[in-house]
Chain A
Amino acid sequence: MKKVALEVNGKKITREISDHTTLSGLLRDKLNLTGTHIGCDTSQCGACVVHVDGKSIKSCTALAADLDGSKVTTIEGLATNGKLHPMQEAFKKMHGLQCGFCTPGMVMSAVDLLKNKKNPSDQEIRDWLEGNICRCTGYHNIVAAVKEAASKM
């Protein structure tokens, strides 16, 4: 067992976890932050993407023990004071989600893209989202949503 202290969505938390607990496991099972989803076991689908110290990572492929001291932002921490993040607004406006399962990872990944590139081209958006699989939307409206968010941010 290991004790880890992290800042999750702005709140300091300390939890006792077993050594093999993944970050997604910590978030979902210990912190009840179930917005972070598990869609595969090979680190391919991207439903579990969160930000650690400002960068997007796959939380199913990171050990919680190794993130002691990190700052984590999950989909639950993206809106501020009840106001949706522009990326969340854009996904809603452009219908960039259907079943919603890949959405948290998709949104967190897209937010990281705009941190790296303010006005990405369609191709840059599609390339960046390579690690996020969506089965519902055909990506068309996701790309549109990211562009919409870029224009608003």
Chain B
Amino acid sequence: MASLVGSRVERKEDKRFLTGKGRYTSDINIANQTYAIFIRSPHARAKIKKVDISKALKSSGVVDILTGEHIAQDKIGGLIAGWAIRSEDGSEMKCPANPPLAKDSVNFVGDPIAVVFAETLDEARAAAELVKVDYKVLKAVSNLGEAMNSETIHDGIDKNLCYDWLLGDRQKVKEAFEKADKIIKLDIVNNRLIPNAMEPRACVIDYNTASEEITCYTTSQNPHLSRLIMSAFGGVAPENKLRVVAPDVGGGFGSKINLYNEEIVCSWASKKIERPIKWVAERTESFLTDTHGRDHITHAELAVTNDGKFLGFKNETIANLGAYARVFGTVTPTYLFGPCATGVYIMPAAYSNVKAVYTNTAPVDAYRGAGRPEATYTIERLVDKAAMELGMDPIEIRMKNFPTEFPFKQTLVHQIDSGDYVAGLNKAKEMADYDGFAARKKESESKGKLRGIGVTSYFEACGIAPSPVVMMLGCGVGLWESAEVRFNPTGQVTVYTGSHSHGQSHQTTFAQIAADELGVPIENIDVVHGDTDKGTFGMGTYGSRSLTVGGIAIVNACKKIVNKGKKIAAKMLEASPDEVDFKNGEFVVAKSNKKKTIGEVAFASYLPGVRDEVKSPLPEGEEPGLIESSFFDPANFSFPAGSHICEVEIDPETGHVKLDKYTAVDDFGTIVNPLIVEGQVHGGLAQGIGQALYENAQYDDSGQLITASYMDYTMPRADDLPDFNLGFTCTKATTNPLGVKGCGEAGTIAATPTVMNAVINALDGKEISLPATAEKVWKACKEMKKSNAKAA
């Protein structure tokens, strides 16, 4: 049987999505359900003086209305930060309480205050309009740069500062900078983004009054973790009385990692009103209340020698947490950002200092890449600027500072097990026809256009691990993953994984892996995920961890199946287990033609006996059945890397940037399914390009989100993007048996600096802030023209 790992297997999940048979949370209806509408703060910062629900309660069809008072009375806990970060001075981070319904104060537009349950959605909406909230409106802190000098949002949190964190050695950096020929300095704003999964968040809750079990169908990337938080911190129900199901989920990109207010409130309320509840966010609600991403202000410096060697790096960043600290909110700008900011380079000395502050905006958390795009943008802009100031080619300066020996101890934290950065950049250079750029630039110029080329080399640290290390660094949970592999007596296999697919294709990829391990046709393998009642506990899907952690748990569980199978087969074949080999789904006794298929072994394991004779196929001490599980905790992160090159053409008359060519060369180690991996890269690129050219979440001074719909928030569309030219190199990961590295975030991490480096290259090095909108580029073109005229 040919190996399925490495082949372009079409997806098992496609048929249901292509025929309208997907089952997303909002497709679920439960008899007798009520409809929920949340009353949300229209103000960015206010004290709640009074919530009057009396009139609304009398409105037609209203079943109940619950407020922050009720939450407090029932002692329902709030939302939490998943990582405790310590400041440079040793003090613990400061986090405000974040109740599921606000009782005393609201801290961003969209902060929920009360919820109406009614017989119909229209009735819920009508009643919601009758809930009167009396506010004392306070001055909003909406500007990140001024947040530390503004009024205190949360009592007891001075300067709105959650922590002031340092990684690295300031003294060593100081010494390195003293030796430098040149210091390259850069000030950047990493623009705020809204993840915008196409499926708006939703939850449907069903409370069983007899069993007292709550079932919560929800749009989550990690149902097990949601259950844990809802139970342990929310106090909604004990874990054994709480089932969380994340059925088909329409994209997440980080925004569905968090457990949200609505899930806690509706789960708690369903028990209270003894009715099922359905809540589906409108897109505007998603814009206002989904966690946002990025939003940093960074000053960074790179110390270099005249011949382009890097000596040291410093990174001073202010990161926006929004109104509250959420699950990955505090770690994204620290351990996911700081260590990666020195990039793929040998950097003798470095530090990253991050001040995370609260503002009256939606909570900021992980968004595809989470910290690593911000880090890569910082270093890759700096490196390009250094090349320009030193008069070097951007590829030459990168090559000069790449490590060539692996494992490579990266400056701040990571021990990178494998990689070949030189090969990746060389391949990208060739595929992009880097050397032909000058001719293409000339051609563009002949049409009155400007052309630029941009290069980025990146690495990513993903599949965060191992658990003792991440917990030592402040994580509230371990980041292992679980799997269970169950053989049916008749030979089909069900694989249960604790990770969750919301587009990543686990039902196909994981089945490929199991098919190879067990020698069972892929058609006979089903992958089950997303239901806390099915399968063991799991940590979910984010940070490109599913394959490198969850996939390996499946491999390990399969290996246990094979081990047990070997013993049973040996007994059946009257051989010693040492003599039995397993290959292509068959247990074969060496140097003989005696064999049993794994299906026969599975059958025997469940039906361990024969008529008229007391004879078991099971060796002494072996239990019946063929089900095995595994919890995999990798020894380290995985470290994908690559080099991307793109070209843009700019119309100086309008400032319009046309993305003309995009080449991506990535090293993801072993690739299980190239079709799917390419899709992950394409999608990641679109989001990174979106950050570079289009997307920008903006709040006004009063804290109103002015990009709260697709009329104002620019989503990349089909006609904005080119075809992508992809290539791969392969150095296998040494920390897992498949040699795989994560691939979900790479495109997003590399694309933003690649595009911006190209735009700035076209503008002769003129700095421009993210995103490079037509107006900004047009202004830069105008200034360029002026300075060129002066020079002439």
Touch between chains A and B, by CB atoms below 8 Å: yes
Query: A interface vs B, CB < 8 Å?
Result: 18, 28, 33-42, 44-45, 47, 74-76, 78-79, 84, 88, 91-93, 95, 97-104, 107, 122-123, 125-127, 129-130, 132-143
B21 contacts A by Cβ under 8 Å:
yes
> Given A41-B709, A91-B14, A140-B724, is A135 in contact with B683 using a C-beta cutoff of 8 Å?
yes
Complex Cα gap A140–B664 (Å): 13
Do the beta carbons of A141 and B719 come within 8 Å of each other? no
B250's partner among A99, A126, A141, A142 (CB-CB below 8 A) is A99
Complex Cα gap A123–B660 (Å): 13
Do the beta carbons of B724 and A135 come within 8 Å of each other? no
Do the beta carbons of A122 and B682 come within 8 Å of each other? no
CB-CB contacts of B498-515 with A at 8 A, as 1s and 0s? 000011110000000000
Complex Cα gap A99–B678 (Å): 15
With a cutoff of 8 Å between Cβ atoms, the chain A residues found around residue B718 in the complex are 125-127, 129-130, 132, 134, 139, 142-143
Q: How far is the CB of B9 from chain A (nearest CB, A)?
A: 10
B198 contacts A by Cβ under 8 Å:
yes
Complex Cα gap A146–B719 (Å): 14
- Interface segment out of the listed B22-30, B56-64, B68-76: B22-30
With a cutoff of 8 Å between Cβ atoms, the chain B residues found around residue A125 in the complex are 718
> Given A137-B682, A143-B718, is A35 in contact with B19 using a C-beta cutoff of 8 Å?
yes
- Pairs of residues from A and B, 5 with the lowest C-beta to C-beta distance, nearest first: A35-B20, A101-B250, A100-B17, A99-B503, A138-B686
Complex Cα gap A41–B716 (Å): 18
Do the beta carbons of B710 and A98 come within 8 Å of each other? no
Do the beta carbons of A135 and B721 come within 8 Å of each other? no
CB-CB contacts of B722-763 with A at 8 A, as 1s and 0s? 011000000000000000000000010000000000000000
Do the beta carbons of B22 and A38 come within 8 Å of each other? no
Do the beta carbons of A74 and B20 come within 8 Å of each other? yes
Max count, chain A CB within 10 A of own CB: residue among B14, B18, B282 = B18
Do the beta carbons of B251 and A88 come within 8 Å of each other? no
B610 contacts A by Cβ under 8 Å:
no
Do the beta carbons of B10 and A140 come within 8 Å of each other? no
Complex Cα gap A135–B505 (Å): 15
With a cutoff of 8 Å between Cβ atoms, the chain B residues found around residue A143 in the complex are 718, 723
Complex Cα gap A75–B283 (Å): 22
Task: Beyond A42-B710, A126-B721, list 9 extra A-B contacts (CB 8 Å).
Answer: A45-B198, A74-B20, A84-B15, A88-B19, A95-B679, A99-B199, A100-B18, A123-B719, A141-B678
Complex Cα gap A40–B280 (Å): 12
| Interface Cβ pair total, 8 Å cutoff | 176
B200 contacts A by Cβ under 8 Å:
yes
B390 contacts A by Cβ under 8 Å:
no
Query: B interface vs A, CB < 8 Å?
Result: 10-11, 13-24, 26-27, 122, 196-200, 248-251, 253, 280, 282-284, 502-505, 675-676, 678-679, 682-687, 709-711, 715-719, 721, 723-724, 747
Do the beta carbons of B199 and A39 come within 8 Å of each other? yes
Do the beta carbons of B19 and A42 come within 8 Å of each other? no
Do the beta carbons of B200 and A39 come within 8 Å of each other? yes
Main secondary structure of the interface of B (DSSP, over half): loop
> Given A39-B199, A92-B11, is A97 in contact with B17 using a C-beta cutoff of 8 Å?
yes
Chain A, Cβ-Cβ closest to B709? A42
Q: How far is the CB of A99 from chain B (nearest CB, A)?
A: 3
With a cutoff of 8 Å between Cβ atoms, the chain B residues found around residue A99 in the complex are 197-199, 248-251, 502-503
With a cutoff of 8 Å between Cβ atoms, the chain A residues found around residue B687 in the complex are 135, 138
Max count, chain B CB within 10 A of own CB: residue among A79, A125, A137 = A137
B283's partner among A40, A79, A101 (CB-CB below 8 A) is A40
Do the beta carbons of A138 and B683 come within 8 Å of each other? yes
Do the beta carbons of A42 and B283 come within 8 Å of each other? yes
Main secondary structure of the interface of A (DSSP, over half): loop
Do the beta carbons of B11 and A130 come within 8 Å of each other? no
Do the beta carbons of B11 and A136 come within 8 Å of each other? no
Do the beta carbons of A92 and B19 come within 8 Å of each other? no
Chain B, Cβ-Cβ closest to A28? B27
> Given A41-B284, A93-B10, A138-B724, is A103 in contact with B18 using a C-beta cutoff of 8 Å?
yes
Do the beta carbons of B710 and A95 come within 8 Å of each other? no
Chain B, Cβ-Cβ closest to A88? B18
> Given A99-B250, A133-B198, A140-B682, is A40 in contact with B719 using a C-beta cutoff of 8 Å?
no
Q: How far is the CB of B712 from chain A (nearest CB, A)?
A: 10
Q: How far is the CB of B465 from chain A (nearest CB, A)?
A: 25
With a cutoff of 8 Å between Cβ atoms, the chain B residues found around residue A76 in the complex are 19-21
With a cutoff of 8 Å between Cβ atoms, the chain B residues found around residue A136 in the complex are 198, 251, 503, 679, 683
With a cutoff of 8 Å between Cβ atoms, the chain B residues found around residue A97 in the complex are 14, 17-18
With a cutoff of 8 Å between Cβ atoms, the chain B residues found around residue A79 in the complex are 19
Q: How far is the CB of A28 from chain B (nearest CB, A)?
A: 8
Chain A, Cβ-Cβ closest to B13? A100
Max count, chain B CB within 10 A of own CB: residue among A100, A127, A132, A133 = A100
**Interface pairs (5), CB distance under 8 Å:** A36-B20, A76-B19, A98-B679, A99-B251, A133-B717
> Given A45-B710, A91-B18, A95-B676, is A39 in contact with B27 using a C-beta cutoff of 8 Å?
no
B198's partner among A47, A95, A122 (CB-CB below 8 A) is A47
With a cutoff of 8 Å between Cβ atoms, the chain B residues found around residue A102 in the complex are 198, 250
Q: How far is the CB of B530 from chain A (nearest CB, A)?
A: 13
Complex Cα gap A74–B199 (Å): 18
> Given A88-B19, A101-B199, is A135 in contact with B253 using a C-beta cutoff of 8 Å?
yes
Do the beta carbons of A134 and B198 come within 8 Å of each other? yes
Complex Cα gap A137–B684 (Å): 8
Complex Cα gap A78–B17 (Å): 12
Chain A, Cβ-Cβ closest to B8? A95
With a cutoff of 8 Å between Cβ atoms, the chain B residues found around residue A132 in the complex are 718
> Given A35-B22, A93-B10, A97-B14, is A137 in contact with B683 using a C-beta cutoff of 8 Å?
yes
> Given A34-B27, A135-B198, is A100 in contact with B250 using a C-beta cutoff of 8 Å?
yes
A122's partner among B14, B22, B251, B723 (CB-CB below 8 A) is B723
Do the beta carbons of B18 and A84 come within 8 Å of each other? yes
> Given A38-B26, A39-B198, A99-B249, is A138 in contact with B19 using a C-beta cutoff of 8 Å?
no
With a cutoff of 8 Å between Cβ atoms, the chain A residues found around residue B711 in the complex are 42, 44
Complex Cα gap A39–B283 (Å): 7
Q: How far is the CB of A134 from chain B (nearest CB, A)?
A: 7
Do the beta carbons of B710 and A84 come within 8 Å of each other? no
Q: How far is the CB of B82 from chain A (nearest CB, A)?
A: 24
With a cutoff of 8 Å between Cβ atoms, the chain A residues found around residue B685 in the complex are 138
Complex Cα gap A38–B719 (Å): 22
With a cutoff of 8 Å between Cβ atoms, the chain A residues found around residue B122 in the complex are 18
Max count, chain A CB within 10 A of own CB: residue among B20, B253, B505, B684 = B20
Q: How far is the CB of A88 from chain B (nearest CB, A)?
A: 4
Q: How far is the CB of B690 from chain A (nearest CB, A)?
A: 9
Q: How far is the CB of A90 from chain B (nearest CB, A)?
A: 10
A130's partner among B15, B200, B686, B719 (CB-CB below 8 A) is B719
Chain B, Cβ-Cβ closest to A97? B17
> Given A134-B198, A139-B686, is A75 in contact with B19 using a C-beta cutoff of 8 Å?
yes
With a cutoff of 8 Å between Cβ atoms, the chain A residues found around residue B16 in the complex are 100
Do the beta carbons of B196 and A135 come within 8 Å of each other? yes
Do the beta carbons of B682 and A101 come within 8 Å of each other? no
> Given A41-B282, A99-B249, is A130 in contact with B717 using a C-beta cutoff of 8 Å?
yes
With a cutoff of 8 Å between Cβ atoms, the chain B residues found around residue A36 in the complex are 20
> Given A88-B18, A101-B199, A136-B683, is A37 in contact with B719 using a C-beta cutoff of 8 Å?
no
With a cutoff of 8 Å between Cβ atoms, the chain B residues found around residue A41 in the complex are 282-284, 709
Complex Cα gap A100–B503 (Å): 7
Q: How far is the CB of A31 from chain B (nearest CB, A)?
A: 11
Max count, chain B CB within 10 A of own CB: residue among A28, A36, A42, A97 = A97
